[in-house]
Homo-oligomer: A and B are copies of this chain.
Amino acid sequence: MIVDDVKLSIAGSVGEQMYSYVAEMFPICRSITGNGVRETLKILQGLVPLEIHEVPSGTKVFDWEIPKEWNIRDAYIKNSSGEKIIDFANCNLHVLNYSVPIHAKLSLQELKSHLFYLPEKPDWIPYRTSYYKEDWGFCISYNQFLSLKDEVYEVFIDSTLAPGHLTYGEYFIPGETSEEVLISAHVCHPSLANDNLSGIIVSAFLARHLQEKKPRYSYRFLFGPGTIGAIAWLALNDSRADKIKHGVIMSLLGDTANFTYKKSRQGAAEIDRVVEFVLKSTNPENKLVDFEPYGYDERQFCSPGFNLAVGCLSRAIYAQFPEYHTSADNLSFIKPECLDESLRVSIEIMETLDDNKKFTNLSPKCEPQLGKRGLFNLKGGDNNSKQFQMALLWVLNLSDGKHSILDIAIRSNMQFKYIKEAAEQLMRCHLLEEVKQY
């Protein structure tokens, strides 16, 4: 189904197609501003018609200010023999993200306070940033650190930190109603595959899927830097943010863990109930966790001044797996089949949400006579038709304008698709009327 919906010229399964895109974007050195974000969004424009927004440095966004733009061309550490022992060209994690430019000779002692490493994972390079305090540094493996001799080192970072812009991409799919579903993925991490690229690519493929439907809701996709990007968008769209009725932050969707959904601050919003229903019907091992004000951009959308119904869908949980924010979150950490499954689940969530309508029974006093409309099984016997008749009775009984398809599916312990199909048949017989909620 997915394969049919997503018409791409490149070959392979959908999971493999997504994986190829991730591989293409992996080497780019992204940050919260700069050309890495622009290149990434350009690649995504090959999939969906993103509109690119540039917000000037210095713009006030609530309590924050858009920082200077950072760009980097090269960086290395040479030992006293002139050998490059650390090279940005090999791995962009080597540079403390947002490092100011430097070209200097330092003793090992002087250098040490600018080095970051992970003694507990001696082969991995950590990912570190210093966005709001001007600094420079190198991230290296602990084994590299141990091999450093007491000599003089040449450090070079060819970066610029100067007035420029913060860049984000936005894609809006208008629906029958102006009520919006927000899908957002952060695009500020350099060569990290699961944290960042998996969420980006699943969101982009989900957008491709939805644009070919005629959805009930309007869908807004955001691809921007974490924290400051969400803050910028909310500040620039403050007056219309309440159009967002439901939302999901997408991240960490390429690994092999079961799914985790972090509920919105509201906790029992429609999106929370829909995702719980879909995840639990998919695999009882999938996990729901309560909102906490730490994590990804749900923090901003769920701040008390907005309190939007926005949760976060992931597989592994941020900061709770060893590869998190290290060079081990690389292309071998994610799997095409996991990306594919994440896309399928995301589509099911959005379709369930979109289909989750409420109805009014137009013949609410006693049961209507289903037999004369051909809706009642006259032969009887097979289990499917019995199930379907129960679905009809449940929909008629609970369609008092207050219960949605999901409410009825949960109450009756029946599949969502049966309840939806029953409602559609009753609509055709003029026994139901949709409650327009907007």
Contact = CB atoms under 8 A, between A and B. Distances in A.
A363 B63 contact: yes
A431 B397 CA distance: 45
Nearest to A238: B365
Interface in A279-305: 292-294, 299-300, 302-305
A412 B363 contact: no
Interface in A386-438: 390, 393-394, 396-400, 412
A265 B394 CA distance: 11
The number of times this chain is found in the oligomer is 3
Contacts of A49: none
Nearest to A371: B132
A146 interface: no
Contacts of A367: 63, 227, 231, 293, 299-300, 303
Which of A227, A230, A294, A394 gathers the greatest number of chain B CB atoms within 10 Å? Answer: A294
A57 to B, nearest CB: 15
B62 A365 contact: yes
Contact of A364 (B292, B304, B398): B304
B230 A265 contact: no
Contacts of A361: 304-305
A10 interface: no
Nearest to A290: B411
Contacts of A393: 293-294, 299
Given A364-B303, A399-B304, A293 B394 contact: yes
A163 interface: no
21 contacts: A62-B366, A63-B366, A132-B369, A132-B372, A133-B371, A231-B367, A234-B366, A265-B397, A292-B390, A293-B390, A293-B393, A293-B394, A293-B397, A299-B397, A300-B366, A300-B367, A303-B364, A303-B396, A304-B361, A304-B397, A304-B398
Given A227-B367, A235-B365, 10 more contacts: A61-B366, A63-B369, A64-B369, A132-B372, A231-B367, A300-B367, A303-B366, A303-B367, A304-B399, A307-B400
